[in-house]
Amino acid sequence: MNTALRDNAPVVAMRGVSKSYRLGAVLVSALHAADVAVSRGEMVALTGPSGSGKSTLLHIAGLIDTADSGNYLLAGTATTQLDEARRTQLRRNAIGFIFQSFNLVPVMTVAENVEYPLFLDGISSSEARERVAAMLARVGLADRAKHRPDELSGGQRQRVAIARALVKQPRLLIADEPTANLDSHTADEVIAVIRELCHEAGTACLIATHDARLTAHCDRVLALRDGVLQ
């Protein structure tokens, strides 16, 4: 199986992707026959009320969940048949995650949190140190490198999470309601940082959000309702 990522293919190419959950006797369709395409450097917002399937779509796109049916090519690579080890490797190489509640590792310093993906990739620590310092400077946290996450504000923590997600320059950034825990001013700052870094590096972004002001920053908006793309 050829799993080499291709530069000229769309980063995300989903066709007819469906996922349903069994709740007792009934089958709940969380995502129905979704067709999604996101190209390099494109920032796509995913909107819809709570329970409409945004997270489900992001989990499948981020290779942390599997679809029941349909096809998903990540940068030209068919992902449907891959085993867990390959999916883990693809996540490590090609996908960055930003979570609603930051999910930083509390025993690691800010710098170590950002360095972690490089460490997983086996990048030498001297190179990693440089890239981490550069990344922290970009998100405006150069002076917080030695701090622990619990010494930071919410906005600062999310900026650390952005640095962590983008330090390895992934093909795809998955952000599930990244501003939901932040006040509107901080949310604006965070979105601006994501946008700037992704456009610069050509990273494709899929961002789930309720926030109308956030969607205004995006290149395109996909609306979901009851698992169906409108």
Partner 1 sequence: MNALKWIGFALRNTLRNRRRSLATVTLTALGSAAILIGGGFALYTYESLQQAAARDTGHLIVATKDFFDREEDTPMQFGIEHFDKLRDTLLANREVRYVLPRLNFSGLISNGDKSVVMIGSGVDPQAEFSVRGPFLTLKSGQLLNEDSAKGPDVLIGAELAKSLKVEPGSALTLLGSTTAGALNAIDVKVRGIVSSGVPDIDKRLVLTSLATAQGLLVTDKVSSVGVYLADMELTAATRAKLAPQLGALATRTWEEEAFFYKAVRGLYDRIFGGLGLVIGLIVVGVVAGAMAMAIVERTREIGTLRAMGTSPGQLVRAFAIEGAALGASGGLLGALVAGGVSIALVFANLQMPPPPGRSVGYPLYVSFSPELALITLAAVSLLAMISAAVVARIAVKKPIVEALGHV
Binding site for ligand ADP (CB under 6 A): 21, 23, 28, 30, 48, 50-56
- Minimum CB separation of residue 213 from partner 1 in Å reads 26
Q: Work out whether 120 is an interface residue with partner 1 (CB under 8 A).
A: yes
What one-character-per-residue DSSP string does 127-170 give?
HHHHHHHHHHHHTT-GGGTTS-GGGS-HHHHHHHHHHHHHTT--
Per-residue b/e over 69-108, b at no fewer than 16 CB within 10 Å? ebebbbbbbebeebeeeebeebbeebbbbbbbebebeeee
- Where does residue 211 rank: exposed (0-12), middle (13-18), buried (19+ CB within 10 A)? buried
Q: Is 179 in the site for Mg ion (CB under 5 A)?
A: no
85 binds, among partner 1, ligand ADP, Mg ion, none (CB under 5 to 8 A by kind): partner 1
Q: What is d(CA 11, CA 79) in angstroms, rounded to the nearest whole number?
A: 12
The count of chain residues that interact with Mg ion, using the rule CB under 5 A, is 1
117 binds, among Mg ion, ligand ADP, partner 1, none (CB under 5 to 8 A by kind): partner 1
CA-derived radius of gyration, the chain: 17
123 vs 223, which CB is nearer to ligand ADP? 223
From residue 126, alpha-carbon distances to 75, 110, 118, 121, 134 in Å are 30, 17, 11, 14, 13
Separation CA 33–CA 122 (nearest Å): 38
- Smallest distance from the beta carbon of 224 to partner 1, in angstroms? 17
Q: Are strands 220-225 and 43-47 parallel, antiparallel or unpaired?
A: parallel
CB of 41 to Mg ion, least distance (A): 25
Residue 69 binds partner 1, judged by CB under 8 A: no
Side chain identity at residue 15, one-letter code: R
Return the range that interacts with partner 1 (CB under 8 A); candidates 28-36, 41-49, 95-103, 131-139: 95-103
Residue 92 binds which of Mg ion, ligand ADP, partner 1, none (CB < 5-8 A, kind-dependent): partner 1
Site string (24-63) toward Mg ion, x via CB under 5 A: -------------------------------x--------
Question: Which of the stretches 10-18, 68-76, 99-107, 137-145 binds partner 1 when contact is defined by CB under 8 A?
Answer: 99-107
Number of residues that bind partner 1 (CB under 8 A): 25
Binding site for Mg ion (CB under 5 A): 55
